[in-house]
Amino acid sequence: EIVLTQSPGTLSLSPGERATLSCRTSQSVSSTFLAWYQQKPGQAPRLLIYGASSRATGIPDRFSGSGSGTDFTLTISRLEPEDFAVYYCQQYGSSPFTFGGGTKVEIK
Amino acid sequence: EVQLVQSGAEVKKPGESLKISCKSSGFSFSSYWIGWVRQMPGKGLEWMGIIYPGDSDTRYSPSFQGQVTISADKSISTAYLQWSSLKASDTAMYYCARRTRNYWYLDLWGRGTLVTVSS
């Protein structure tokens, strides 16, 4: 089973700042098979990024994904109030299709 | 509207059985894999397993194999997650979600079913 480690656990930032979230995998994952999800309190997760860098339908371009091998990054260029949430990465190259533990982006 | 509608919250006692549902609309249910994801209170997401309603092909995470049963009834576009004997540790939010056509990420999620197991 591939283990995904997200860091930091919590990111305290102000609106307008840049957020950089990390996801490391225990084995190399093809960049085709890495996704990011956003979850707000009391809501279901929402797909943000697939294929490491492709935005899902309706996702603003302030969200971007990058990375390869075992190191992946989600960047939010300028935080909007609605972006404060928990973010999860997921690998879907090898079953079971595991998730990371999440990074909470909170208002500073 | 393309959506997954999950059944309502459940409160059960340890040892009881339970079957929760996830009904699709707006897309061809038989042509998409439907997965289940657990989220324990205050915790992260755990991939449980997935089913292809077209032929009932089902895959489980090793962590959940033998602990739950995933099924589907394509005649009513509904997937199910069931337990034969609940434990307190099954208390969680359970989400169903649709896999995309070609890859194993999840592009459409239900709102979740909260299952509480308490004596």
Taking only the tens place, the pLDDT of each residue in A70-82 is 999 999 999 999 9
Q: Is residue B90 a contact partner of residue B115, using CB atoms and an 8 Å limit?
A: yes
Average pLDDT over residues A27-34: 88
Quick check: A33 contacting B, CB < 8 Å?
A: yes
Amino acid A31: pLDDT: 72
pLDDT of A86 reads 98
R_g over Cα of chain B: 13
Q: What is the distance in angstroms between the Cα of B105 and the nearest Cα belonging to chain A?
A: 6
Taking the C-alpha atoms of residue B65 and residue B68, their distance in angstroms, rounded to an integer, is 7
User: Contacts of residue B33 in chain A, CB cutoff 8 Å?
Assistant: none
Over residues B24-68, the pLDDT tens digits come to 999 999 999 999 999 999 999 999 999 999 999 999 999 999 999
Compute the distance between CA of residue B99 and CA of residue B35 in angstroms, rounded to an integer.
Answer: 7
User: Chain-wide mean pLDDT for chain B?
Assistant: 96
